[in-house]
Amino acid sequence: MNTLSGRFLVLTIIFVMIAEILIFVPSIARFREDYLLDRLERAQIASLAVLAGDGMVDEDLEAELLENAGVLNVVLLRDEVRQLMLSEAGIAPVSHSFDLRNPSAMQLMADAIMRLFRRDDGETIRVIGNPTRDAGLLIEVTMHAAPLREAMIDYGLRILALSAVISIVTAALLFLAVRRLMVLPIMRVVGAMMNYSQAPEDGRRIIDVRANVRELREAETALQAMQTQLTSALKQRERLAKLGEAVAKISHDLRNILNVATLMADRIETSEDPAVRRTTPRLLSSLSRAVSLCESALAFGRAEEPPPRLTHVDLGDLVCDVVENERIAADGADVDYISDVEPGLVARADPEQLYRVLANLIRNARQAIATTGQAGKVTVTASSGEDCWLIRVSDDGPGLPKKAMDHLFQPFQGGTRKGGSGLGLVIAAELVRGHGGTLDLEKSGPEGTVFTIRLPAGAAA
Residue 240 in any domain: the answer is no
Q: Does residue 100 have a pLDDT over 80?
A: yes
In a domain, 216, yes or no: no
Contact 66, 72 (CB under 8 A): yes
In a domain, 52, yes or no: yes
Q: How many other β-carbons are positioned within 10 Å of the β-carbon of residue 4?
A: 13
Q: Which domain holds residue 347?
A: 308-460
Predicted pLDDT of residue 357:
93
Model confidence at 311: pLDDT above 50:
yes
The answer as to whether 55 is a domain residue is yes
Domain tally, the chain:
2
pLDDT tens-digit profile of 30-66?
999 999 999 999 988 888 877 776 656 677 888 888 8
Whether residue 206 is contained in a domain is answered as: no
Output the domain CATH number for residue 418.
3.30.565.10
Q: What is the pLDDT, as a whole number, of residue 367?
A: 87
3 state SS for the chain: CCCHHHHHHHHHHHHHHHHHHHHHHHHHHHHHHHHHHHHHHHHHHHHHHHHHCCCCCCHHHHHHHHHHHCCCEEEEEECCEEEEEEECCCCCCEEEEEECCCCCHHHHHHHHHHHHCCCCCCCEEEEEECCHHHCCCEEEEEEECHHHHHHHHHHHHHHHHHHHHHHHHHHHHHHHHHHHHHHHHHHHHHHHHHHHHHCCCCHHHCCCCCCCCHHHHHHHHHHHHHHHHHHHHHHHHHHHHHHHHHHHHHHHHHHHHHHHHHHHHHHHCCCCCHHHHHHHHHHHHHHHHHHHHHHHHHHHHCCCCCCCCCEEEEHHHHHHHHHHHHHHHCCCCCEEEEEEECCCCEEEECHHHHHHHHHHHHHHHHHHHHCCCCCEEEEEEEEECCCEEEEEEEECCCCCCHHHHHCCCCCCCCCCCCCCCCHHHHHHHHHHHHCCCEEEEEEEECCEEEEEEEEECHHHC
For residue 115, tell me if it sits in a domain.
Answer: yes
pLDDT 10s digits, 146-204: 899 999 999 989 888 887 788 778 878 887 888 887 788 888 888 888 988 888 877 78
User: What order of strands is seen across the sheet that includes strand 448-456?
Assistant: 335-341, 376-384, 388-395, 448-456, 438-445
Q: Could you tell me if residue 283 is inside a domain?
A: no
Say which range, 74-83, 235-244, 422-431, has the weakest mean pLDDT: 235-244
150, 169, 188: which is the final residue of a domain? 169
CB under 8 Å to 30, separation ≥6 — which residues?
108
Residue after which a domain boundary falls, among 169, 204, 233: 169
Say what the pTM is.
0.45
- 397 within a domain of the structure (yes/no): yes
List the one residue out of 229, 456, 239, 218 whose CA is nearest residue 348: 456
For residue 9, what pLDDT band results from cuts at 50, 70 and 90? Answer: confident
Say if residues 75 and 85 touch (Cβ distance below 8 Å): yes
User: Which of 120, 144, 169 is the last residue in one of the domains?
Assistant: 169
More confident residue, 369 or 267: 369
